[in-house]
Homo-oligomer: A and B are copies of this chain.
Amino acid sequence: MANIRPIQFPGEPLEKWLAQFMPHVSIDCVVFGFHGADLQLLLLKWKGADTWTLPGGFLGHRQSVDDAAHGVLQARTGLRRVHLRQFHAFGDLGRKEANGRRLFRKNLRDAPRRDLWLFQRVVSIGYYALVDIRKVRPTADAWTDSCAWYPAGSHPPLAYDHDRIVEGAWEALRAAIDVPGAGASLLPERFTMPELQCLHEAILGRRLDRRNFQKRMLERGGIERLQERRTGGAHRAPYLYRFTVPHAGLDF
């Protein structure tokens, strides 16, 4: 059974709290949000510092890496049952030492031992998700002042190597949307071509030509035009489409 017990703020000595985790491995979650406009990014602002980071945490001894990712995301942001995809492990030298130590210490009551693995290099396993912004309610945890959405294309600079992690996640997301049926959970069951184009534009971060987009979507298959049209708008009623391919497991 999945073990996604959230990580609690230490009410105990740091050493004892750390003992629940497998040393040197962390998880960082890149959560993109969408609802009919530009792509958003879920960021945490550290308590008492003007520093933003991704929701991250550690791997419990009795958790699989996938379970730990869900546990970390839930503990740090309140988000549950999100489809997380692992995309890359980040393990460059010096990836979090300098300002990481300073930041972490700010949030501790007592000065910790300097030889803890927490203050050495940690390899972070990156996960990403794409969620419907209307369906989630991000909530800050005890380590953070706020947990909120920022435009993915112009978010505040992030601590550690988190800007690079976001870049990697966005690249993986761009590749993932290029599969027939991808993104179904973010669209109405019967959607218009402009709605599909809007999703693709948000993920790709650029405008697309309407005619080329429609041509490409229809040519690659996995989508069908329905007899009915969407009515009620100010313009000519647009055609409705639906995906004809299963997207279970591939979708966000």
- Residue ranges of A at the interface with B (Cβ–Cβ < 8 Å): 22-25, 59, 61-66, 68, 86, 88-93, 117, 120-121, 123, 125
Main secondary structure of the interface of A (DSSP, over half): mixed
Q: List 20 A-B contacts (CB under 8 A).
A: A22-B123, A23-B23, A23-B117, A24-B25, A25-B25, A25-B91, A25-B123, A61-B121, A63-B93, A64-B91, A65-B89, A65-B90, A65-B91, A65-B123, A66-B92, A86-B88, A86-B89, A89-B89, A89-B125, A123-B125
Cβ-closest 5 pairs across A and B:
A65-B91, A89-B89, A64-B92, A89-B125, A25-B123
For residue A239, give the distance in angstroms from its CB to the closest CB of chain B.
26
Q: When chains A and B are docked, how far (Å) is the Cα of A15 from the Cα of B23?
A: 17
Enumerate chain B residues within 8 angstroms of A65, measured Cβ to Cβ.
Answer: 89-92, 123
Known pairs A22-B24, A25-B25; A123 contacts B88 (CB<8 A)? no
**What 11 new A-B contacts, CB under 8 Å, besides A22-B123, A23-B23, A25-B91?**
A22-B120, A23-B117, A24-B25, A25-B123, A59-B91, A59-B123, A64-B91, A64-B93, A65-B123, A66-B92, A123-B123
**Residues in B whose Cβ lies below 8 Å from that of A64:** 91-93
Q: Which residues of B contact A25 (CB under 8 A)?
A: 24-25, 91, 123
Residue of B nearest to A123 (CB): B25
Task: Give the docked Cα–Cα distance between A65 and B65 (Å).
Answer: 18
